[in-house]
Amino acid sequence: MLADFIEDNRAEFESRFVLVLRSFLFDRRTSIRPNMLKGIAANEVELFAGFFRGKTFSAVEHGAELHELGLHELALLRLGKEARQFLLANFPPDQIAPALEAIDHYQEMIVQGYIYANERNILKEQEMIRGALQTAVGRYTVEIKEIEGMAEKAIQASQFKTQFIARIGHELRTPVGAMMGLAQMLQAEIYGPLSPQQKDLTQRIIHKSEVLKQVFAELLDQSQIESGQLRLKAAPFSPRDLVEQVHVNYLPLALGKSLSMRLMVDDTLPDTAVGDKSRLEQIITNLIVNAIKYTDEGNIWVGAFKSNATHWSVEVKDTGIGIAQEHLDYVFEPFRQTDESSGRQYGGVGLGLAIVQQLVKAMNGTVEVKSKLGQGSTFTVHLPLELTA
């Protein structure tokens, strides 16, 4: 139905997309020319409709193509925004929620591809630097200024990625928060009673907004970590209380999928330790949410124990889909998921585990994973045990 709606309103979609492209055309260096805008817009609408018809088409690869074309990152985001606004104004009300979910997933995949392409460009720049340095050592003919200029380009490319991540979060967090607030007001029937169908619709909007809010939070955390702005705040806390509280917070989510989630806290764990409680909570939360997301039936175990005289550990084990051995090497890499089909089925942008590893590393700890495809996964975090004086 969504694909039919796009086809029926093709002219309107193309007109809106042309205006967006024209608005950002000269904001960065690009190979796009004004006389190309109509063709680009028409192609975007064609691919947009084709995606929802299930045609063979990789939105991730298309996002990479848009980056190589030189499309401005804000134009990428505004294309999705225009589509959502037109949908809200004209689509059948009882179909808006699933349509918004589909469009949001499409844009998430486009953004992933855009970021992948930018990362590939960074790697190419770095390879060029290494090649130039080797030539300089071998021949002593490379000018220092050329090397410095190439290094500066690589730094700028890396900074662009970090700034782009932060910009996505800041650009979309406010309107998503406003949309969630309005939906919550409707759900509370502040503007009058709702039918069961309307209540279901508003609840789905709230849920999707919460998912997007979490995605933006992860993007902002990632940009903060990459820019070196992460600061840990050490204070006394109870490891037992911390793990138990996170377990209580996400037990309803597990039960909602008919999963059991058991907690085992060893008696050897000290009553008080020193660390950044909020970041530790984020680590445990990401591991538990990851386990729930990728487990459709069975059990989840959460354990906390004193692993030796100087360290304590948190372990999250599940009976989920597992991870193939060839994918274990990059499971902690930012924006990486085992394959595009899992990203389509389970959502997210592939930052939860990357943030876990980077936070654990900042705490001078380690994280390891053991997994077999189809048999579940076990993530174990080992952290230094700092006791109060």
pLDDT tens track for 31-83: 678 888 888 888 888 888 888 777 767 888 888 888 878 787 788 788 888 88
The model's pLDDT over 366-379, given as tens digits with 9 standing for 90+, comes to 999 999 998 899 99
Same domain, 60 and 151: yes
What average pLDDT does this structure show over 123-128? 78
Structure tokens at 7: 């086809």
When pLDDT is cut at 50, 70 and 90, the band that residue 384 belongs to is very high
Same domain, 211 and 81: yes
Q: Give domain status of residue 300, yes or no.
A: yes
Same domain, 121 and 212: yes
CATH number, residue 325: 3.30.565.10
Same domain, 31 and 125: yes
End-to-end CA distance of the chain: 65
Same domain, 193 and 328: no
The number of distinct structural domains making up the chain is: 2
Same domain, 173 and 291: no
Q: Give domain status of residue 389, yes or no.
A: no
Going from the C-alpha of 179 to that of each of 166, 207, 365, the distances in angstroms are 20, 11, 39
Same domain, 273 and 214: no
Q: Which residue has the higher pLDDT, 368 or 218?
A: 368
End position of a domain, from candidates 201, 226, 251: 226
Same domain, 54 and 154: yes
Domain range for 270:
235-384
Q: Give domain status of residue 149, yes or no.
A: yes
Q: Give domain status of residue 108, yes or no.
A: yes
End position of a domain, from candidates 198, 226, 254: 226
Q: Is the pLDDT of residue 224 over 60?
A: no
When pLDDT is cut at 50, 70 and 90, the band that residue 297 belongs to is very high
Q: Is the pLDDT of residue 20 over 70?
A: yes
Same domain, 131 and 274: no
Nearest-Å Rg of the Cα atoms of the chain is: 24
Same domain, 66 and 212: yes
Extended strands (E) in the chain: 235-237, 260-265, 273-275, 299-306, 311-318, 366-372, 376-384
Average pLDDT of the chain?
A: 79
The model's pLDDT over 139-196, given as tens digits with 9 standing for 90+, comes to 655 566 666 667 666 656 555 555 565 566 555 556 666 666 777 777 777 878 888 8
Same domain, 221 and 264: no
What average pLDDT does this structure show over 73-96? 82
pLDDT (0 to 100) of residue 210: 61
Same domain, 77 and 185: yes
What average pLDDT does this structure show over 239-259? 91
